[in-house]
Amino acid sequence: MPAPESTLLDSWHHNAHAWIDAIRNGTIESRLQVTNQAILLAVLGRQPERILDLGCGEGWLLRALADRGIEATGVDGDATLVDAARAAGSSQVKVASYEALVEAKVDIGSDYDVICANFALLHQDIIPLLVAMNALLAPGGALVIQTLHPWTAAAGDYQDGWREETFTGFKGQWQPMPWYFRTLSSWLNALDMAGFRLAGLQEPQHPQSAVPQSLLLVAEQRDRG
């Protein structure tokens, strides 16, 4: 039986074209109404000059940042998504798995003011990747993570563990995707173990919804002194 991490990447390879269509046609309401704006404002709030979008997908955030005069580099593990980002005008996008980034097999630059991961940390052992990203930040830089809100996504089972996204209600042909659910304390512990300290926490919410649409974490490098 393949490991969940392998199945996770395979599902992105299978779902890439459907994902591109969903993002570019605006069919994911929570993104249109809440979460796209939330990550963009969180990043812009740091007043960055250089940004790395980790797990950039088809590149919508890269384009939004470039439109505001910010140098934005992207990296993603799926070549189809990277090709789509490049074709839409983002030239600084590279293909690399998270494993390759941890092992520094691909040069994606360094001295970033912000590294963001927008619904892109879905595997179990994120600490080595966070450590690798910490090393790529410029002094005073920040890591901005947006993810599913643990309380909303728990569905009555509030403990770390693998879950499955079936994309029910999404148009197109989708392959189920495993993803790793983690509690709020698990997120904070991972950041701490990777050398970060929490600088901000938001729970973006639609005014007509009773539950938060996401969890947004801003983390800074812990003082190495």
Hey, how many other C-beta atoms are within 10 angstroms of the C-beta on 73?
Answer: 21
Would you state the pLDDT for residue 209?
Answer: 86
Per-residue pLDDT band for 35 (boundaries 50, 70, 90) equals very high
Across the range 149-177, mean pLDDT stands at 94
Q: Which residue has the tokens 């904070």?
A: 188
**Backbone region of residue 51 per phi and psi (left: phi > 0; alpha: psi in -120 to 50; beta: other values):** beta
Would you state the pLDDT for residue 1?
Answer: 60
Alpha carbons 69 and 100: distance in angstroms, whole number: 29
Alpha carbons 90 and 78: distance in angstroms, whole number: 15
pLDDT tens track for 68-124: 999 999 999 999 999 999 999 999 999 999 999 999 999 999 999 999 999 999 999
Alpha carbons 77 and 54: distance in angstroms, whole number: 10
Per-residue pLDDT band for 208 (boundaries 50, 70, 90) equals confident
Give the residue numbers spanning the domain of 113. Answer: 4-221
CB 204 within 8 A of CB 212: yes
Q: Which residue has the tokens 């029910």?
A: 168
**The model's pTM:** 0.96
State the CATH number of the domain containing residue 117. 3.40.50.150
Across the range 20-24, mean pLDDT stands at 95
Report how many domains make up the chain. Answer: 1
CA distances from 11 to 85, 118, 153, 168, 175 (A): 19, 18, 20, 15, 6
Structure tokens at 68: 């505001």
**Backbone region of residue 32 per phi and psi (left: phi > 0; alpha: psi in -120 to 50; beta: other values):** alpha
Per-residue pLDDT band for 224 (boundaries 50, 70, 90) equals low
Q: Which amino acid is at 46?
A: R
Nearest to 148 by CA among 60, 212, 77: 212
Residue 20 has pLDDT above 60, yes or no: yes
